Amino acid sequence: MDTTFAELGLNEQILRGVGALGFSRPTPVQAQAIPYVLQGRDVVASAQTGTGKTAAFVLPALQLIGRVADADDPRDRGPRALVVTPTRELASQIDEVAQTVARCTGQSVATVIGGERYDKQIRAISRGCDMLVATPGRLIDLMEQRAVRLDGVRVLVLDEADRMLDMGFWPSVRKIVAKLPAGRQTLLFSATISGDIERSMPTMLHDPANVEIARMGQTADTVEERMVPVVQGQKAELLTYLIERDRPGRVLVFCRTKQRVDLVASLLARKGFSVGEMHADRQQRQREKALRDFREGRLAILIATDVMSRGIDVQDIDWVVNFDVPLDPEDYVHRIGRTGRAGESGVAFTFVAPDEISPLREIEYFTHKLIPLWEPQGFTFAQGRIVPNPTRATTRSTRSVFRGSSRGRGPAGGRFGRHA
């Protein structure tokens, strides 16, 4: 029999928050991690993207910390829980979950991220907050301004620890941890646990419980992976052909650089598609609007770099397209993990040009499998493409390659639309 949230030890207020989030049954990472957290244990949890890691730490952390006191001493006004995460998009995602639950518990949540006004964030902290969600750089800035005190932190969460390491935030993380009470509870959540992170654990965690939902490099069973060999100059044409032919509901496209994002977005926009962009050079309000429009169906296509890949928490993404093969195999796993979430099925295309065969092989070595070759019927490829390892499994497209639930899509569904 499936475990329920109530059986995990969550109290009535938190369970009301679970209902407000629309959750029915805990995911495996939630079912395994939440009881450990409620027991007061330090936890190291590794699980694929899209498995519910955010709720796995937000729910029990809010239950453990209670509410901050309304007092004159800043240490008594919180925060009691601190969540450190690498990107603004991830912070916004965590804030959304935490705020939903906090409305049911009477607690308060504040979020501090780069690119926003300091005075607004300082006021939010000074009013008192039970949980503080922060990106490392902005939190360090506020600490140096003495605008935030961490003396009262009882629960520390390091979210997407591997990404913080990749992005060079680990020295900042160590600086933050050094300012926290020694007796705190520490929760480390990540898609993968690298050797560098493992070496840091003894100084940050005490006798942690380990929760491992998937081995490193494992991709979700709900994602159908398809490798399409093509020359670089035909990638935009191929993407346009597939989208026009099959009319998926939401398409998330990953490019290697900011310049490539701008180029592909421009090409698709000229074709009349509704397109949004997400990369580090876009203003925060522009990124938030693009993500919101994509989530709410006003944009059919969102094009992003890997820096944004873990901040895109959108349900019902039908296709992920690797317009460029990622150079880091882990980025491949994170990219395609944006589809096939919450039990739904999805499709992940990887367009492979002749100069990208080497990183493709690195991905296949990392994931321990060959990505099936996929040949789209009706598309004429230019000369010069190279099919790597032609003996691999081959699938051919049918008229519609869409795999997903029966959500509205295409012109009738109102999801996939061209500009009027």
Bridge-based pairing of strands 275-278 and 301-304 is: parallel
Q: Tell me, yes or no, if the pTM score tops 0.85.
A: no
Class in CATH terms, 223-413:
alpha beta
User: Within a 10 A sphere around the Cβ of 193, how many other Cβ atoms?
Assistant: 18
CA angle (33, 162, 256) in 5-degree steps? 130
User: Within a 10 A sphere around the Cβ of 221, how many other Cβ atoms?
Assistant: 8
CA angle (46, 50, 56) in 5-degree steps? 55
Cβ atoms of 235 and 325 closer than 8 Å: no
Q: In the prediction, which pLDDT does 334 show?
A: 81
Look-up: residue for tokens 């419980």? 209
Q: For the chain, where do the domains classified as CATH 3.40.50.300 start and end?
A: 6-212, 223-413
User: Within a 10 A sphere around the Cβ of 367, how many other Cβ atoms?
Assistant: 19
Q: How far apart are CA 106 and CA 100, in angstroms?
A: 10
Q: pLDDT tens string for the chain (420 positions)?
A: 468 899 999 999 999 999 999 888 898 899 999 999 999 999 999 876 667 899 999 999 999 998 765 444 545 566 999 999 998 888 988 999 999 999 999 999 999 998 888 999 999 898 889 999 999 999 999 999 999 989 999 999 999 888 888 778 889 999 999 999 999 999 999 877 777 788 888 889 999 999 987 655 566 777 899 999 999 999 999 999 999 998 888 899 999 888 999 999 999 999 889 899 888 788 878 888 888 888 888 988 999 987 666 666 677 889 999 999 998 887 888 888 888 766 677 899 999 999 999 899 988 888 888 899 999 999 999 989 998 877 777 765 544 443 333 333 333 333 344 332
Q: How far apart are CA 1 and CA 251, in angstroms?
A: 36
Side-chain-side CA neighbours of residue 24 (13 Å)? 3
**For residue 246, what are the CA distances in angstroms to 159, 403, 411?**
36, 10, 11
Class in CATH terms, 6-212:
alpha beta
Q: In the prediction, which pLDDT does 179 show?
A: 93
Q: In the prediction, which pLDDT does 412 show?
A: 30
